[in-house]
Amino acid sequence: MKHDKRHDLSQYPLRLEGDNVPMVRFQNVTKRYGSLTVLDGLNLDVAEGEMVTIIGPSGSGKTTVLRMLMTLETIDSGVIYVDGEPLTHMEKNGRLVRANAAHLRLIRSKIGMCFQHFNLFPHMTALGNCIEGPMQVLGLSKQEAEERALELLDLVGMADKRDQHPSRLSGGQQQRVAIARALAMRPKVMLFDEVTSALDPEVISEVTGVIRGLVDQHNLTMLMVTHQIGFAREISDRICLFFDGKIEEQGSPEMLLDNPQNERTQQFLSAVLEAN
Amino acid sequence: MLDWKMDFTWEILPRLLLAAGNTMLAAGGGYAVAVVLGLVFALAQRTRSRTLTFIVRELVEFIRSTPLLLQIFFIFYVGPQFGLRLSPWAAGLIAIGLHYAAYLSEVYRGGIENVPKGQWEAARAINLSTVTTYRRIIIPQALPPALAGMGNYLVGIFKDTPMLSVIGVAELMHTANSIGAENFRYLEPYTIVGLIFLAISLPTAWLIRRFETALRRKMGLTR
Ligand SMILES: Nc1ncnc2c1ncn2[C@@H]1O[C@H](COP(=O)(O)OP(=O)(O)O)[C@@H](O)[C@H]1O
Ligand SMILES: [Mg+2]
């Protein structure tokens, strides 16, 4: 097993170079939980500024893709690259070895993530949530951090709630603060994991509106998991349909949603459309 | 009916109040040791080193399953054989501090484990270091629920200070015993000691509850 891995790694480049280096590359990535193979040799590139949406049935590995990229999960084989640099590995004496904590931290700084259940820090205000990373990690002064945070809270329409703790905010409001908190770290890649799934239907548009704005305003690379097919169609450059830890089919929204080639894709889509 | 002597009461009260100061000093000092050491014990059990976790885990178990009195005797009387020659005060504070550190470490551990996993993940997503995550995110949230347990052990340590009398720390119990032996009267000194304990324990417990509520509110942890 160990031997295999070492042998394997020689096939992966130390870094991605040339034109068209993707912002994110999953190269032959496998993830297992015990005997369960959750992702099986995943290959996925996301170009800079691209908005890629992942859809698929529950348990197909969508969340795991984002969590691996956020380094919340380790991977079992393959390499993930971010902005041309390996994330899960690092170069040592001309070879790739498993990334250490310092390397993970360095590359992770390019990635931000929003969670289904927001995960705001409950003991801090909306503003406090948004200045924590910039002050503790980026070394900004309190004033600089607050200026930046207020701009972003304004962007997500939460500036007037800056002094509220999360327990005083609705789900939609919390999620918008969470988006501001992630953006305050100036990530190049933003990950959204079912950020509207825990919300009441009437506030979903608060959050999708903010994400739509990000597509227009920032040249962010985004990777989003959602069950909202309509929203995905509207803002995605590309949609990937996951099935059993593999990309079953992918393409532009029109291609995938209107003219799915694959039988399982058709079944999934009709099931989802029926549910809506 | 009761042979209570008021003039004797007044005569011994200053000495007992002075000793009450010593009792509070012993409880406070021991608690300070326990609060810090307990956190070290709790965090040590969460490091990636399995050996360290195992050793600390066993140490905590050992301390929790042997009597405090034995630990006090051991440190004071057996310590010197290992070159550890301590004054009664030092030995007492170490023993009682170590003992309660074991209990407090469990309180901390419970508090830390109660913080949802999503908090760790959010902290990582904004790239906070492990130390910063503990300091800024986890411990502040672990504290309010741990406070009740911490308060109980503060009162507990206070009530256990009489055990230090066995190695000659001049706290309340020790002083009451001396007074009793000198005057052949035990009713007044012991009664006063009981009242002093009550007069300190009850408000302390009340204050801790108030503090917990205030802290939760200040942190925005209540709706
Ligand atoms: N920590 C874990 N331990 C064991 N199995 C897990 C864990 N996390 C996810 N899984 C399993 O991995 C599979 C994919 O999960 P996930 O990526 O969350 O799917 P999705 O987001 O598409 O619903 C599921 O079968 C799930 O039960
Ligand atoms: Mg999921």
Domain ranges of chain B: 6-218
Say if residues A21 and A84 touch (Cβ distance below 8 Å).
yes
Cβ within 8 Å of residue A273, ≥6 positions away:
A229
CB atoms within 10 A of CB B87: 12
pLDDT at B223 over 80: no
pLDDT at A7 over 80: no
Q: How confident is the model at residue B2 (pLDDT cuts 50, 70, 90)?
A: confident
Superfamily of domain B6-218: MetI-like (1.10.3720.10)
- Chain A residues close to B48, C-beta within 8 Å: none
Size of interface A-B (CB pairs under 8 A): 75
- Which of B114, B121, B126, B130 is the best residue to mutate to test the A interface, defined by the most A CB atoms within 10 Å of its own CB? B126
Predicted confidence at residue A10, as pLDDT, reads 87
Per-residue pLDDT, averaged over B9-30, amounts to 94
Cα of B81 vs centre of ligand 2, distance in Å, is: 61
Q: Which residue of B has its CA nearest to A108?
A: B127
DSSP annotation of A95 reads: E
- A145: tokens are 């951090």
**Ligand 1, pocket residues at CB < 6 Å:** A 33, 36, 38, 56, 58-64
Give the residue from B102, B79, B82, B84 showing the smallest Cα distance to B30: B102
Instruction: State the smallest CA–CA distance between residue A113 and chain B in angstroms.
Output: 6
Least trusted range by pLDDT, from A47-56, A264-273, B107-116: A264-273
Rg (CA), chain B: 21
pLDDT at A5 over 80: no
Instruction: Please write the tens of the pLDDT for every residue from B33-87.
Output: 999 999 999 999 998 899 999 999 999 999 999 999 999 999 999 999 999 899 9
pLDDT at A217 over 80: no
Nearest CA to ligand 1 atom 18: A63
Predicted confidence at residue A3, as pLDDT, reads 43
Helix (H, G, I), strand (E, B) or coil at A89: strand
Which residues does residue A114 pair with via DSSP β-bridges, in sequence order? A192
pLDDT at A8 over 80: no
Cβ within 8 Å of residue A179, ≥6 positions away:
A114, A156, A195, A207, A210, A211, A214
pTM recorded for the entire structure: 0.89
Per-residue pLDDT, averaged over A94-117, amounts to 96
Distance from C-alpha of A117 to C-alpha of A171, rounded to nearest angstrom: 8
